[in-house]
Structure 1
């Protein structure tokens, strides 16, 4: 028996309980830290799964998923949408003349400009190579034309400096409105065809045209 009337066994039990509680608290803190790190890792995996590996834009897989969702939404609620298809001009020329690192730099430059000139609700993606696409909702043909012209001007006039070199970055942009019976594939094909028609017309209008894209 201790002086305060408690048995030694009770004191030991109290000490053990305090030690167990302290150990459990430490384990809980460790678990919380591990859960936090797991959430961060999962968020990074999700980001990697939907983002392009080179540019700050979404990747093709995410773009197609988003486009399917917009088509379903349009059919259900009658919402309007447009798809813009962007092809960076003369990328082979840039790669051959300045190197592939310069070509990557030009693609990132173009992607940053695209991202800076779309709304939060728009979906801008790199489909692969030198091709980008954008989904724009709640627009009519006039607004889609205005957006395409704005992006064309920005990509053509914003200087792209790579070291001492000034890279000749510009783009050909086609677009199409979402139609009632469209699929993701038909939308992309139509916007792509419009882009190539505009590219050909632009090259034919240039003095000394016919340069390879």
Structure 2
């Protein structure tokens, strides 16, 4: 060996590094191919899982039965949604009056029950029952459409008099009702009288001419221990006491 001859000395491990470097492109290519293959593999619609078991691994008869069951479920789901929609529609119809711009009896009583159960801190709410005294007379003389028009006229006056926190509705027929914060009976009667004056000063204009409207009212101050039925009973008793005074002169004298 010629010790004076110069030989190139490779660093330790350099040969292995070159081999590893040569393998890297191939390794990256394989990795890229596997990723691309995973992304390009379509998901078969039948590859759903039940309790971790793919449908493609199931017995064909079991899979067919499940597919048939799934086909039967969709129409049932549509029928359930339709039934829910009809239920909501009929519930809204039961809460609203059929032609008056006020709540129906059921919705009003629900609101009244809510007020009675949350009266703490409120300023003595009052319940008012307002009866269109000559409503039946209008019905007998001018027909159903005239009475309906008169009721709508009264309902619109009541609605226009409401404060944001007031509640109003129709109990059925010629009876209206409303709840408002009064403070005491005197203040409640003063406000009710203002409403009565407004109604009587605005006759209903029918095809037969102007029809004066006569109303009677009953007032009850609400208390926490009352039920909605109790409150209506007390207001109705007060209405009966004022009924005769509110009748038209020709009916009062008959």
TM-score where L is the length of structure 1: 0.72
Question: Cα gap change, 1:181/1:155 in structure 2, threshold over 3 Å: closer, same or farther?
Answer: same
The one of 46, 55, 59 aligned to 2:100: 55
Aligned pairs, number: 178
1:179 equivalent in alignment to 2:223: yes
1:69 equivalent in alignment to 2:122: no
Question: Cα gap change, 1:89/1:202 in structure 2, threshold over 3 Å: closer, same or farther?
Answer: closer
Question: Cα gap change, 1:59/1:180 in structure 2, threshold over 3 Å: closer, same or farther?
Answer: same
* Separation in 1, partners of 2:221, 2:131: 18
The CA deviation at 1:79 is 4.7
* Separation in 2, partners of 1:186, 1:89: 23
Q: Which has the higher contact order (CA 8 A, sep 6+)?
A: 1
| Residue number in structure 2 paired with 1:115 | 159
The CA deviation at 1:49 is 4.0
* Separation in 2, partners of 1:157, 1:127: 24
1:142 equivalent in alignment to 2:154: no
1:30-62 per-residue CA deviation (whole Å, 9 max, x = no partner) reads: xxxxxxxxxx99997665342211210011101
The one of 124, 130, 135 aligned to 1:80: 124
Greater Cα radius of gyration, structure 1 or 2: 2
**Any stretches of 5+ residues in structure 1 without a counterpart?**
1-39
Kindly report the root-mean-square deviation, in angstroms, between the aligned alpha carbons of the 2 structures.
3.0
1:82-101 alignment runs, 5 A limit: 82-101=126-145
Q: Report if the CA contact (8 A) 1:148-1:174 is conserved.
A: no
| Residue number in structure 1 paired with 2:240 | 196
Q: Report if the CA contact (8 A) 1:94-1:168 is conserved.
A: no
* Separation in 2, partners of 1:99, 1:66: 33
* Separation in 1, partners of 2:161, 2:112: 19
| Residue number in structure 1 paired with 2:199 | 155
Structure 2 SS opposite 1:126? strand
* Separation in 2, partners of 1:120, 1:46: 24
